[in-house]
Structure 1
Amino acid sequence: MLSQTLVLLFRPFLRDRFLHILLVLGAVLTVFQTEKVTQFANFVDWNTIVTLLGLLMLTKGVEISGYFDVVGRKMINTLDNERWLALFLVAAAAVLSTFMTNDVALFIVVPLTITLKKLTSLPVTKLIIFEALAVNAGSLLTPVGNPQNILLWSRSGLSFLHFIGQMAPLALASMAALLVVTWVSFPSHALKKKESQQNSAFSKPLLTACVVLYLLFIVCVDLGLAMYGLIAVFIGFMLMSRQVLLRIDWPLILVFIIMFIDVRLIVSIGPLQQALGSIAGLPEYGHYLLGMGLSQIISNVPATILLVNYIPANALLAYAVNAGGFGLAIGSLANLIAMRMSGEKKIWLLFHCYSFPFLLLSGVVGWILLAWIN
């Protein structure tokens, strides 16, 4: 029993190639800066890590409760039109990503979508692309929607509701555009349904516990007591369902810890320090373009971790790195997760046909909105 538990815990670490790349990069950088090893713990924004971990636990709890499977089956039995089913799933992905991280929302929506391939005639590959775009657009609304927002929220000093108010204009504009494109891209005709499979078990007590713990956790984070909220969530799952703690994405937590360390090691390199030191002196449009551009090169989470050391955690930086989640697949880890989960090689090229126009749209609209807000 113990050996099976250890395998369940450590196998994901062995398979996570992105984590391995970060570890190798960190090891190479450490060789040239060995004196910084003792500072590694100080490099990590632990409030962000605690918030992310609590959300992962709560999300996995809802998933294990079987609630999403129940909702998915009812959805398939209710909607028999391809366009409306696509709109529902895209909207659901966006909504889920507002109170979960965008990555976690995909872990719920994409498997359900892949299941639909066996149940209906829905073009699943294209729909997964739209769901990836949806979680990027939806998650930018709230402080807990994605990792970069968690970091920016913790640094900004804004309340939960004030942060939402700051991000709402760009989120609404992006989602409106995505829903219009979804409407045009999926025809309005009846789906060919196949025989449904047996339903999974649903645990209402576990779902209820998750909802209560989620509300408690958000209140604790908003009051600056994230660690106490995490302890409450941990104890709750120890009592209700320990398998939740075994099945959450622990490698993802380590990925973000190593990201913090790697970024700080990178910015400590002599020649880069001089270049990075000039960031603060750039005009606002320079900050905006840099946030979007770096997101295309190193992904928007590392870009945020880097830039927040030189640029205030304000609306400009938040808009830039969230818009930067579109474009290249590497712009957001959510994009990579969705593409990988699809299992389709052709999805990569098709994804960029939709994603680059959204990068341009969100970037331009975001800049216009910033000028209007200010």
Structure 2
Amino acid sequence: MLMTDERAGAMRVIHALGITVDAVRRDPVLLILLAGFAAVQFLHPATAAELFTRVDWRTVLTLTGLLVLTKAIELSSFLDWLAQRLLRAFRNERRLALLMVVFAAGLSTVLTNDVALFAVVPLALSLSRIAPIRIERLIIFLALAVNAGSSLTPLGNPQNLFLWQQSGMGFGAFVVLMAPLSLALMAVLLAITWCAFAPRALHFHQQGPSHDVRWPLFALSLVLFAGFVALADHGLGPWACALAVVPLLAVRRDAVLRIDWLLLLIFVMMFIVLRGVAGLPALRTVLAHIDLDAGQTAYWAAAGLSQIVSNVPSAILLADYSRKWPALAYGVSVGGFGLAVGSLANLIALRMAKSARIWWRFHWASIPFFVLALGLGHALQGAR
């Protein structure tokens, strides 16, 4: 009887978090990952302990904290308040899109691409609630922007941080190395953004909340966010998560319970599946027979492999076979475009959009941009 009650209680918690069989069935990314997991396990079986160690739990806990803080800021209604003021200042869709793209890219150079998305995508969603903005298109461009902007600095994304530490370069030297590619990518992106968004006037289709911002909740969220970033920046992901979750559980429990728990499950599965693919003996045998000490070869391998196992695992895997840090850094930066799996930031942005259509529309923009980025990276890498 006790076990039955415990199981029933656990099921109630799972259902309250939105993790249901029906929700899983409707999530194509999770279904693909589950199929990939079955295939990798068939090819190269791993024990439960080995599967557990594949997951970067520090990243998962950091993502949990970001989801909680973002939900708290959303519940404070501050983003709706800010969105109204932005629309009053930028009543032109093109100018607003350019502002958001530049802001996202700039933020990603210092706060990493995923943190930048957690700031700009909820704001974009707030804008769409009060004005007829093409929100799916804007979110796609924000995903491209954080991938382009984050390529500039070691702090911009996990693969840059890893390669910077492996290379022994100074911070400034790494920025100088990546500046030509990052600036070229941003120039192309801004030109495409200019063409993709018309200079049409934007009008409020609803006023939204104007006097009910919950300023105490917003202020608490900002304080917690500052502490969270400081702890996460020093590699203290679990403590950063606790700092975000514990106070909000006490004062605003729904900020914790209403986050996207399926996104966390997707990230866990991505670590398990993608690192499983990266560790397949067949793949390692192929890499061992490729001359990755040639710069252009390393570049193309990094960009191509990122389309299969994402750019962070690609950087970690290829660093075992090559010391061509500039080529690897350029390759994994370019590899963040193309397929959504190329960068975990893509999955975060598309997931936050809560639209099934956006997954297909993203690739209509991202794959051509990937082709352009490949050419730019190849030319700049060859000129070094």
Contact 2:80–2:123, Cα closer than 8 Å, also in 1: no
Pairs aligned (count): 368
Residue by residue, what CA displacement relative to the aligned partner does 1:316-374 show, whole Å, maximum 9, x if unpaired?
4343222122234554455566668485859946x5565445324433444566678x7
Q: TM-score, normalised by structure 1?
A: 0.77
Contact 2:104 2:117 in 1 (8 A): no
Does residue 179 in structure 1 map to residue 187 in structure 2?
no
Q: Partners in 2 of 1:151 and 1:239 — Cα distance? A: 36
Deviation of the 1:283 alpha carbon: 1.7
- Structure 1 residues 124, 308: CA separation in 2 closer, same or farther (over 3 Å shift)? same
Shift of 1:83: 2.7
CA shift, 1:46, in A, is: 3.1
1:206 is aligned, of 217, 222, 228, to 217
Q: Is it true that 1:7 corresponds to 2:21 in the alignment? A: no
- The yes-or-no answer on 1:77 pairing with 2:88 is yes
- State the alpha-carbon separation in 1 of the partners of residues 141 and 186 from structure 2: 11
Choose which of 26, 30, 33 in structure 2 pairs with 1:19.
30
- Report the 3-state secondary structure (helix = DSSP H, G, I; strand = E; otherwise coil) of the residue aligned with 2:267: helix
Match of 1:112 in 2: 126
CA distance in 2 between partners of 1:145 and 1:66 (Å): 28
Q: Which ranges of structure 1 fall in alignment gaps of 5 or more residues?
A: none
Structure 1 stretch displaced more, 91-100 or 152-161? 152-161
Q: CA deviation at 1:199?
A: 4.1
Aligned counterparts of 1:202 and 1:150: Cα–Cα separation in 2:
37
Q: Distance in 1 between matches of 2:156 and 2:99?
A: 19
Map 1:208-247 to 2 at 5 A: 208-247=219-258
Shift of 1:141: 4.5
**Which whole-Å CA distance do the structure 1 matches of 2:174 and 2:62 have between them?**
16
Code of the aligned partner of 1:133: L
Query: Within the alignment, does 1:38 sit opposite 2:70 as a pair?
Result: no
Amino acid at match of 1:174: L
**Counterpart amino acid of 1:289?**
W
Q: Kindly tell me: are residues 142 and 53 of structure 1, through their superposed partners in 2, closer, same or farther at Cα, counting changes over 3 Å?
A: farther
Report the residue type matching 2:15 in the other structure. Answer: V
Tell me, in whole angstroms, the C-alpha distance in 1 between the residues paired with 2:167 and 2:228.
19
SS in structure 2 of the partner of residue 289 of structure 1: helix
**TM-score normalised according to structure 2 size:** 0.75
Paired-residue identity, %? 39
1:226-278 CA deviation, whole Å, 9 max, x = no partner?
33333222223223322222222333333233223223433444433311334
| Structure 1 position 265 matched with structure 2 position 276 | yes
Match of 1:86 in 2: 97
| Contact map agreement 1:264 1:306 (CA 8 A) in 2 | no
In structure 2, relative to structure 1, the CA distance for the partners of 1:103 and 1:333 (3 Å cut) is farther
CA distance in 1, matches of 2:256, 2:354: 26
1:336-355 correspondence runs (5 A): 341=353, 348=360, 354-355=365-366
Secondary structure of 1:11's aligned partner: coil
Q: Which AA in structure 2 matches 1:8? A: A
User: Structure 2: how far apart are the matches of 1:162 and 1:47?
Assistant: 28
User: In the TM superposition, what whole-angstrom CA distance separates every residue of 1:258-308 from its partner, at most 9, and x where no partner exists?
Assistant: 223223433444433311334574422212111211233454455446545
Say if 1:66 and 1:306 are closer, same or farther in 2 by CA, change over 3 A.
farther
Contact 1:66-1:200 within 8 A present in 2 as well:
no
- Using a 3 Å threshold, how does the CA distance of structure 1 residues 316 and 54 change in structure 2: closer, same or farther? farther
Structure 2: runs of 5+ lacking an equivalent: 1-8
Distance 1:338 1:217, change over 3 A: closer
RMSD of the TM alignment (CA)?
A: 4.0
Work out whether residues 93 and 109 of structure 1, in 8 Å CA contact, stay in contact via their aligned partners in 2.
no
Residue identity matched to 1:115: R
Moved more, 49-58 or 159-168: 159-168
Paired amino acid for 1:51: T
Q: Does structure 2 retain, via aligned residues, the 8 Å contact 1:142–1:149?
A: yes
SS at match of 2:91: coil
1:11 alignment partner AA: I
Does structure 1 retain, via aligned residues, the 8 Å contact 2:76–2:213? Answer: yes
Identify if the C-alpha distance between structure 1 residues 316 and 55 changes in structure 2 by more than 3 Å, giving closer, same or farther.
Answer: farther
CA distance in 2: counterparts of 1:6 and 1:217, whole angstroms: 26
Worse-matched range after superposition: 25-34 or 333-342: 333-342
Cα distance in 1 for residues equivalent to 2:277 and 2:284: 9
Structure 1 residue 29 displacement after superposition: 2.8
Check whether the contact 1:89–1:109 (CA below 8 A) recurs between aligned residues. no
**Is residue 94–residue 139 contact of structure 1 (8 Å, CA) maintained in 2?**
yes
Amino acid at match of 1:7: H
The 3-state SS of whatever aligns with 2:207 is: coil
| Paired residue secondary structure (1:74) | helix
